Amino acid sequence: MTTALDDARKHAARVVTGELVARLTRGVPGSGRTACHSPLTGERLAELPESTVEEVAGAFARARTAQRPWAARPVRRRAAVLLRFHDLLLRRQDEILDLIQLETGKARLHAHEEVQAVAVAARHYGRKAPAYLRPRRHTGSVPLLTRVRQLRHPRGVVGQIAPWNYPLELSVGDALPALVAGNALVMKPDTETALTALWARRLLIEAGLPEDVWQVVLGDGPVVGRAVVEHADYVSFTGSTATGRLVAQGAAARLVGASLELGGKNAMLVLQDADLDKAAAGAVRSCFSSAGQLCISIERLYVHESVADAFLERFTARTRALRLGGGLDWGAGMGSLSSQAQLDTVVRHVKDAVANGATVLAGGNPRPDLGPYFHEPTVLDGVTPAMAVCEQETFGPVVSVYRFTDEDEAVERANATPYGLNSSVWSRDARRARRIAARLHTGTVNINEGYAAAYGSVQAPMGGMGDSGLGRRHGAEGIHKYTEPQTIAHQRVMPLAPSFGMDDRQYARFMSGSLRVLKALRFR
């Protein structure tokens, strides 16, 4: 009888061939060797080049040389590369879905969320980049006499450090606006999910990106990641809050900008007038997509006491019904965790909660029969602040349930965290839900959805408050952060100084009168 592990090994051997690895790693600097592993088996998936600090410097040098002619291309030609990439991605999505599953262990539907997100970003910036980057005219200090034009220049070479949990979306998804803005890129993906990022790079090159414009370096974060920060003209980082602080310090020491999307302890509020069936289904998606290894997934459920029992009956039934699986096919409700470290955190948080009096309403156990890092989706009740799971980010398929009595209490408890990434409100009353949403201290709030509505709306900014990070991805902010704005002011006829025979006092009176007139004419 074949086991799930046997099937996973067969899939890995079929998908990750020596020919594929050689093609994806061509041009990646690495005098050393490292490896990535599949969480579906715990075994080595591929051997990869490992970069030295000197090789990181060389990658930046090549990127700087390639960046100048890339930036000289008209923005519409750069944007056309993104639109071709969009089409190639959708056409060849089965290839990347297999790789994402093998490298992360997530269910195929959750892997497809990454394809959707990247396609949307490619379409958006492929269409909107010319408008976001076009020169703009502004009112000058003296209208008609002062003409002001604002330009946006690429920063140069962006250093990007991408995480393991969403290896397609959080690598190429963040790279697209940086590249279309005219920058080159040196990326350090997580080694364990590097094949996905390397596949995306090859596809973008196939779409027309010059090869040296996007460099990839591989290796340990404290060595290679630090070297990326030390050379970059701007840093894009997604990862833990602790590491994000170090990245921010490194960028600040060099006076270069940085955007950081960090951790979260995201809350979902189920109000007493919520549609409980829809809320329960939404909670399953919000808590257990990618086995909870999603920065914007829900880890805290606040449910009005009058509907708590009815909601939990629906929610726990749906949670228990989730089918766990590690096959490269459709139908599994949840996949594996990505590593032993993630499984250890989940087990520790659940055991600590139970030992201190919490009740397991669903799940609660590892599933080594399915693979080395599988764990059941778990719902905890009776969680108190003394338990680690209450305030610490679990980053796994574990959610804690809390009851509240009124709107003010729900908002106060949801906001009682240093994090501020994402939140969710469920109610049939749209006005009430919007009022509560505006009071939540998170960068995105979803109404009658967990995370996908806000994240998928790429014309709007997405990012965190507090310990959840700095800066935003998506929309205008998501591309403007990769540019340096430049103001060019052309003064005509007379200077902004005494002239035409005026002395200082006469000039001051003239300007004071002009300012009053400009206000009366409603100039801004």
Measure Cα distances from 469 to 243, 367, 418, 464 in Å: 11, 34, 11, 5
Spatial distance between the Cα atoms of 58 and 350, rounded to a whole number of angstroms: 46
Catalytic residue check, 261: yes
Spatial distance between the Cα atoms of 331 and 198, rounded to a whole number of angstroms: 27
**Contact assessment for residue 277 and residue 253, using Cβ atoms and an 8 Å cutoff:** no
The residue behind tokens 């923005």 is 75
Question: Which residue is catalytic, options 36, 287, 295, 390?
Answer: 295
Spatial distance between the Cα atoms of 100 and 195, rounded to a whole number of angstroms: 8
Nearest Cα neighbor of 47 from 28, 65, 71, 66 is: 28
H or E element in which residue 298 lies:
strand 298-304
Catalytic residue check, 295: yes
Name the pairing type of β-strands 444-447 and 422-426.
Answer: parallel
Question: Which residue is catalytic, options 261, 376, 393, 449?
Answer: 261
Let me know if 323 is exposed, middle or buried by CB neighbors in 10 A (0-12, 13-18, 19+): exposed
Measure Cα distances from 14 to 102, 349, 455 in Å: 11, 37, 33
Radius of gyration of the chain (CA): 26
Chain-centroid distance of CA 477 in Å reads 14
Spatial distance between the Cα atoms of 236 and 176, rounded to a whole number of angstroms: 12
Positions annotated as catalytic residues are 261, 295
